[in-house]
Amino acid sequence: MKPTLLIVNGPNLNLTGRREPEVYGTRTMDEIIAATRAAMHGRAVVEHFQSNHEGDIIDCLHTHGFGAVDGIILNAGAYTHTSLAIADAVAAVSVPVVEVHMSRTAAREQVRRHSFIAPVCAGTIAGFGHDVYRLAAEALLALVPARG
């Protein structure tokens, strides 16, 4: 059986394509998710969850992070830089989590240069626009065995 990967997007990522297109591009999140699914060429099932609420993101990680999916791609948005609670949830789950950011956070404002989540993730991919989701999916496929 194909592995299942879950993309979890945090606050304001529902506005991708309209919000700061000079930073995040003009593709909508629906288009980015569709492109990520297509790039898997049937090698994985890609699901998606988005919330602007910290607790909903934590609940999603708890629900899926103990084997309901094989890996998680997490773009926690601004919660990356503020949420110990999300970092604790990532540390608690048993499936690998890859942190992603479309922008190059290391080159942005000082507050965006620190991630509470990065130390508890399998890896971080940042700065490659919408391709970060595809790159993270490829990385997770290398980490997780096929189900079956």
Dig out the tokens for 120 from the structure. Answer: 């508890």
HSE, side-chain direction, 13 A CA sphere, residue 103:
20
* E strands, 12-143, in order: 45-50, 71-75, 97-101, 123-126
Strand partners, 4: 45
User: Catalytic site residues?
Assistant: 24, 101
Residue with tokens 């879950």: 6
DSSP classification of residue 41: T
Judge contact between 60 and 67, C-beta under 8 A. no
d(CA 51, CA 67): 21
